[in-house]
Structure 1
Amino acid sequence: MPRKGMSNLCFSPGVSSSSSSPPLSHYPSPSHSIMDRTLDISEPIISKWNPDNTTFARVTSLFYENRSEAMDFLRIVKNLQKAMHFLVIEDSSSEKMIRAQNLMEAAMKRLQKEFYQILSMNRAQLDPESVSTRSSRTSTGSSTSEFDYDEDDNRSGVVPDESVSENDDVLSVAMEDLRLIADCMISSGYANECLKIYKIIRKSIVDEGIYRLGVEKFTSSQIHKMDWEALEFRITKWINAVRTAVKTLFDGERILCDYVFATSDNITESCFAEITKEGALILFGFPEKVAKITKKSPEKVFRTLDMYTAISEHWPDIDSIFSSESTVNIKSQAVTSLIKLGEFVRAALNDFESVILKDSSISVVAGGGIHYLTIDVMKYLSLLADYSNVLSDILADSPPSEKKSLPESYFGFSDSDDSPAHPLSQKMVWLIVVLLCKLDAKAKLYNDLSLAYLFLANNLQYVVVKVQTSNLKYILGDEWLMKHENKVKQFASNYERLGWSHVIATLPSNPTAVDTPEKVKEIFKKFNTTFDLAYRKQSVFIIPDNKLRDNIKISIAKKIFSLYREFYNAHRRKVERGRYSRSVVRYAPEDVGHHLSDLFFGNFEMGSYLSIESATSISSSPSPSLSPSPYRLSIPATSISPSPSPSPSRPSISR
């Protein structure tokens, strides 16, 4: 109360304080006068709502029945508390003080009841989703309580906003009433009684929310006993739960707690910590247990990355919501789970590298097609590339892969680089190098050198296409792609020389220089024989990639078709006039083009495998039927001189 009010209570206006006045001790002290007035005003309304006095008070809610009277009740309690503060200094054991204390206890019992009723009756409206949707921590943190006003202020209740829904209106009123009651009880010294009710009710809501999201508390032993299908199901439910738990459940509780107990940061933090601790530790502790117990196999890495992503994507919210010292153990648990998940991923990638290195199959792919190892590895790496952001974090502190035992020219990065390569790029390049070196060894299983080079071209082309059509393109970069595209061209060129140079060599570089019919017949016969052999052997070869297949067929056609057509047009008539001309001139230029167009579709399904003995027998099998193929190649008329015969060296990726 202002000092002028106290003066009015102590001294009557118009009466002078002369020497004839009674001693000052005969007048009532200011604190006693304040207490008398406060008790006279407080007792009727507090007694009216004392749940121990009447049935009406026991079954009726003050804030629901008469909100204006509820505001008077809070004001009276506040004034009573102030008056008690003045009186306790002078006479803490006086009859008035005891009477005031009894009234205060009755008032607190009423407010406890009201606090509980508002929390329980408005459980649906005060659910975390409604609170987080309507509010934000920034706005609630700067709000002021309706209870913060002076005696002369106008009474102001919560005025419903017509623009909001009825549910929002109920939510606003409930939140404001909880805040008013909490302020009153805390300032009156009854914080523990208020917090006990709040913690019990709100903790049950958090725990129920965690359970409804499908997150259960498992021991390490229980997780260890689960088969992968059951555990994967639990992981999926956990991933789906994280966003709702962080964005709605914990955030909503944070907002409500900040609002209701805005007058005390310490109370807010300790209360929020107790409400959310158990549920949050169950939620953020699950990934750590999975990472520690589950076998670190390559096929399980993706679910692990999903869990890592779920935490890292919501880390700013987690860091903000659990920012106090009271909740540091919750945030620490989330960090620990990230660390363990990262360790799992690194171990699984190392295990995947070992799987590639340990592949010891000695069968060859029919027709030089795509090896299953190439398909599996590139599918795995392209899926990993979709997690490039989190993988970059996980691999940031990993030591660089050992590269001294593999061809340095294929690693893509050297120690002389001005700046070290990104760890994720290094890891991806390294795994592809391991794959290519295994393919290099498998190419040596082919007895036919041309087929070995075709095998390398097919598989490296598959690698290049997988990189081009996935996020690996952004990880490895254009320089890596260009380098390996050129390597594919080199393998294809080696195949062409080994597979077709002997056919090209049968045709003279200058067709008009041949002058005798005997020489012409000899050239036709040599061409027929070598072309038959080459076609017979390579009719089972396969090139699955359309672009690579067309490029190789066009390249071969340029080198054979134009030379043969020029020789055919120049000397065909010389031979046709003789006996057995049809056995000499077996192919018209169009027939050669048609036969070349038939190539590389193979007689085997892609991915079929043969033993080394079977593959060897195919090369010497009888000539297949030379029936026309529905596929036709447009043959350019450009004349290309034949390439020199290659040396019979073994193909190698490192060359």
Structure 2
Amino acid sequence: MHRPARNSSSTISSSPSPSMPSSPLHFFSPKSRETPSSTPEPERRHNFSQSMMEENINNADLILTKWDINGSTYCKLESLFTGDRREAKAYLRSVRNLQKSMHFFLSEDSKSGTLVRAQNLMQIAMKRLQKEFYQILSRNRIYLDPETVSVSYRSSRLSTARSSTTSEDDDEITSTSDDAISEMVMADLKAIADCMISSGYAKECLKIYKLQRKSIVDENLYYLGVERLSLSQIQKLDWELIEMKLKKWLPAVKIAVNNLFNGERILCDHVFSSSPRIAESCFTDISTVGAMSLFGFPELVARSKKLSPEKIFQILDLYDSIAYLWPVIDSIFSFESSSDVKLQVVTSLIKLGEAVRSMLSDFETAIQKDVSKSPVPGGGIHPLTRYVMNYLVFLSDYNGIVSDIVADWPLTVQSPLPETYFSNPSSGDEEASVITVRLTWLILILLCKLDSRAELFNDVSLSYLFLANNLNYILKKVRNSKLKLLLGDQWLIQHEDKLKKYIANYERMGWFKVVESLSKLNQTADISPGLSSELFRGFNSVLADEFRKQAGWVVPDNKMRDEIKVSLAGKILPPYMAVYDRYRGAFGRRPEMEALIRYAPEDLSNLLWDLFFGVTTENSSTTSSPYRSGSSPSSSPSWSARSGLAGRLLQNCSRDICKRSSVHGLCSDM
């Protein structure tokens, strides 16, 4: 049967479907939005966020359980942070997403099963990260060596180091250099630390870090020779052992500060850069004990009962090392919690300064209380002079440190002294002037002590030679050291003038009898054989006495010795040459005059040259003549070696000089 077709248009209009809106506008009508089947917008957003958080947990479950340390053997042996870095990045990213999910569900329902699941996953993740953190610290000690870290930092490579392992460009280590590996390892540690701290596991992270790094600090200090000593232990040690420890400490403190502690501070600041408070706590706990032992050693040495003035230079070395390193120490231990370390450094400096002051006082007292009563053989250099000047020369090398130590330690002088004595016009440095006062005062004490020692000589001329020798030694030490800059040119000029006076007094008092005898010979108007014989015998006797007496006298300094000889030759040879020519011309070669005038000018010059070597020769021991009968200057063993200077002396005292010079004038100059 054929069924007639239905009019579709009429059907739609006559019998509308109850499930379809009658018009497209129905979807936007208020009535349609209020139907029970529609979902409010906030609820839809909530459902979307919840689904995203659940998805984060599901994704985290996949990767976290894969690396569960309680899982497969592979996960127990392998590390996330080796080889391909993408797995490690994905792991850390999943932990961060898991943390966000936990915060979300915690705000919704703190007792939800999803939150419990997320918490269990977080515990699995933290156990894994703790293991990774420990493994990186323990397996990469060579790349986390403080020196490597500090060198890397100084070369500014850390400034461009990757701050975390989340960079998309560093999937694996592309460089095998120690610095590059060190940077990568530090970046891994920082990424793990950031993750654990933000997840609330800072305590667990710090426990691992402190345990590992403190053992490294202590081990390095041990190999550097740093010991934990007490004052009682130091007091029981012989100074030789203390000095051995001191010699080890001086290089050790530089390495410890510049490399060890500096590297640890850099590493702490980098790994825990997300929390300065944690970085401070970590570095303080790691370094304080070792630093206190290191910086406490100088204080113990300074308080030792075995200190004496000679040991001042070891104390100054300690002071110098700490003072030089102080800016770096202050920078490294800048945390408030590290104040005990800096206080120990300051305390050591104070105690060392006090020890230096005490030893300087002892040194001054030792000079003043010198009890040597025996005159120095030949009027040479007194042992006290050598001791004091060598001491002061070494002390001048520490002028900056000593100036700092004595800056607020005023010099107390019992008797008033001219202010010009302590002046230093060649230097405008105030610090230098402080130590200048100390040094000039100590030298003045020495000079006064030498004056008293000069009185021990029975011969006044030898006393002046002794003073000249010692003052010349002092001046040489000053000129050839930093003492010259500290004492100044004016001080040198004043004491050089004093040296000239000492030498002049020696020449005048030591040779006035010889010069006076020559003067009488030259002043005789009427020459008679009898008178001539008497005068020449007197001259020969005086000459023999002086040479015999001064044969053992000494002038150690070559330059001053030659200057004195030239000066004596200028005073003795010209008048003697005049007498020699005059009498030889008047009496010819009479036998009786040959016996009296037995010294040619060359002989006398040779005798002068033999002076001041401090050795009494056989030829100079005779009481009648400087030479034995029949001997001549040319037979002297030393003549060939010394004839050059003798010739120069004779040239300086030529006949022309003799004719133009007045004998009386030469004597008056003496």
| Interval containing the TM-score (normalised by the shorter chain) | 0.7 to 0.9
1:611 matched residue in structure 2: none
1:548 matched residue in structure 2: 560
C-alpha deviation, 1:298, in angstroms: 0.9
1:457 matched residue in structure 2: 468
Question: Which stretch shows the higher mean deviation, 424-433 or 383-392?
Answer: 383-392
2:34 matched residue in structure 1: 19
Q: Could you say if the C-alpha distance between residues 410 and 451 of structure 1 is closer, same or farther in structure 2, counting changes exceeding 3 Å?
A: farther
> Does 2:251 match 1:240?
yes
1:477 matched residue in structure 2: 488
Matches within 5 A, 1:290-369: 290-369=301-380
Question: Which stretch shows the higher mean deviation, 507-516 or 584-593?
Answer: 507-516
> Does 2:587 match 1:571?
no
Partner Cα separation in structure 1 for residue 350 and residue 470 of structure 2 = 37
Q: Could you say if the C-alpha distance between residues 591 and 407 of structure 1 is closer, same or farther in structure 2, counting changes exceeding 3 Å?
A: farther
Partner Cα separation in structure 2 for residue 507 and residue 476 of structure 1 = 44
1:403 matched residue in structure 2: 413
Matches within 5 A, 1:80-119: 80-119=98-137
Question: Which stretch shows the higher mean deviation, 317-326 or 419-428?
Answer: 419-428
SS of match in other structure, 1:514: coil
Amino acid at match of 2:666: P
C-alpha deviation, 1:24, in angstroms: 5.1
> Does 2:612 match 1:594?
no
C-alpha deviation, 1:460, in angstroms: 0.7
Note if contact 2:533-2:593 (Cα within 8 Å) is conserved in structure 1. no
Partner Cα separation in structure 1 for residue 178 and residue 591 of structure 2 = 105
Based on CA coordinates, which of the two structures has the bigger radius of gyration? 2
Note if contact 1:543-1:601 (Cα within 8 Å) is conserved in structure 2. yes
- Choose which of 205, 223, 233 in structure 2 pairs with 1:222: 233
Q: How many residues align?
A: 611
RMSD over equivalenced CA pairs, Å: 2.9
Partner Cα separation in structure 2 for residue 114 and residue 564 of structure 1 = 103
Partner Cα separation in structure 1 for residue 555 and residue 416 of structure 2 = 28
C-alpha deviation, 1:160, in angstroms: 4.2
2:195 matched residue in structure 1: 184
> Does 2:397 match 1:386?
yes
Note if contact 2:393-2:483 (Cα within 8 Å) is conserved in structure 1. yes
Partner Cα separation in structure 1 for residue 514 and residue 67 of structure 2 = 111
Q: Could you say if the C-alpha distance between residues 26 and 545 of structure 1 is closer, same or farther in structure 2, counting changes exceeding 3 Å?
A: closer
- Choose which of 421, 439, 443 in structure 1 pairs with 2:454: 443
- Choose which of 518, 530, 539 in structure 2 pairs with 1:527: 539
C-alpha deviation, 1:464, in angstroms: 0.9
2:386 matched residue in structure 1: 375
Q: Which has the higher contact order (CA 8 A, sep 6+)?
A: 1
Note if contact 1:199-1:275 (Cα within 8 Å) is conserved in structure 2. yes
Amino acid at match of 2:550: Q
Question: Which stretch shows the higher mean deviation, 566-575 or 34-43?
Answer: 566-575
- Choose which of 35, 41, 46 in structure 1 pairs with 2:53: 35
Partner Cα separation in structure 2 for residue 289 and residue 423 of structure 1 = 28
Which string of whole-angstrom CA distances, capped at 9 and with x for unpartnered residues, describes residues 241-266 of structure 1?
11111111111111211211122222
Note if contact 1:269-1:326 (Cα within 8 Å) is conserved in structure 2. yes
Which string of whole-angstrom CA distances, capped at 9 and with x for unpartnered residues, describes residues 145-196 of structure 1?
235x7xxxx723266464xx54333322211111111111111221111111
Amino acid at match of 1:22: T
Question: Which stretch shows the higher mean deviation, 510-519 or 471-480?
Answer: 510-519
C-alpha deviation, 1:622, in angstroms: 8.1
Long gaps (5+) in structure 2: 1-26
1:649 matched residue in structure 2: none
Q: Could you say if the C-alpha distance between residues 619 and 281 of structure 1 is closer, same or farther in structure 2, counting changes exceeding 3 Å?
A: farther
C-alpha deviation, 1:397, in angstroms: 1.9
Question: Which stretch shows the higher mean deviation, 25-34 or 55-64?
Answer: 25-34
TM-score, with structure 2 as normaliser: 0.85
Amino acid at match of 1:18: R
Partner Cα separation in structure 1 for residue 53 and residue 588 of structure 2 = 137
C-alpha deviation, 1:505, in angstroms: 1.9
C-alpha deviation, 1:271, in angstroms: 0.8
> Does 2:85 match 1:67?
yes
1:608 matched residue in structure 2: none
Amino acid at match of 1:79: N
Partner Cα separation in structure 1 for residue 361 and residue 67 of structure 2 = 72
Identity across matched positions, percent? 47
Note if contact 1:137-1:255 (Cα within 8 Å) is conserved in structure 2. no
TM-score, with structure 1 as normaliser: 0.87
Note if contact 2:85-2:171 (Cα within 8 Å) is conserved in structure 1. no
C-alpha deviation, 1:46, in angstroms: 0.8
Q: Could you say if the C-alpha distance between residues 398 and 26 of structure 1 is closer, same or farther in structure 2, counting changes exceeding 3 Å?
A: closer
Long gaps (5+) in structure 1: 1-14, 606-617, 647-655
Amino acid at match of 2:606: H
Note if contact 1:31-1:83 (Cα within 8 Å) is conserved in structure 2. no
C-alpha deviation, 1:67, in angstroms: 2.0
Partner Cα separation in structure 1 for residue 616 and residue 584 of structure 2 = 37
Q: Could you say if the C-alpha distance between residues 304 and 620 of structure 1 is closer, same or farther in structure 2, counting changes exceeding 3 Å?
A: farther
SS of match in other structure, 1:507: helix
C-alpha deviation, 1:588, in angstroms: 1.3
Q: Could you say if the C-alpha distance between residues 429 and 470 of structure 1 is closer, same or farther in structure 2, counting changes exceeding 3 Å?
A: same
1:194 matched residue in structure 2: 205
2:284 matched residue in structure 1: 273
Partner Cα separation in structure 2 for residue 34 and residue 156 of structure 1 = 28
Matches within 5 A, 1:121-200: 121-136=139-154, 140=158, 145-146=163-164, 155-157=168-170, 160=173, 162=175, 165-200=176-211
Partner Cα separation in structure 2 for residue 589 and residue 161 of structure 1 = 93
C-alpha deviation, 1:316, in angstroms: 2.1
Partner Cα separation in structure 2 for residue 354 and residue 513 of structure 1 = 58
Note if contact 1:118-1:174 (Cα within 8 Å) is conserved in structure 2. yes
- Choose which of 378, 402, 412 in structure 1 pairs with 2:422: 412
Q: Could you say if the C-alpha distance between residues 146 and 59 of structure 1 is closer, same or farther in structure 2, counting changes exceeding 3 Å?
A: same
Amino acid at match of 1:601: F
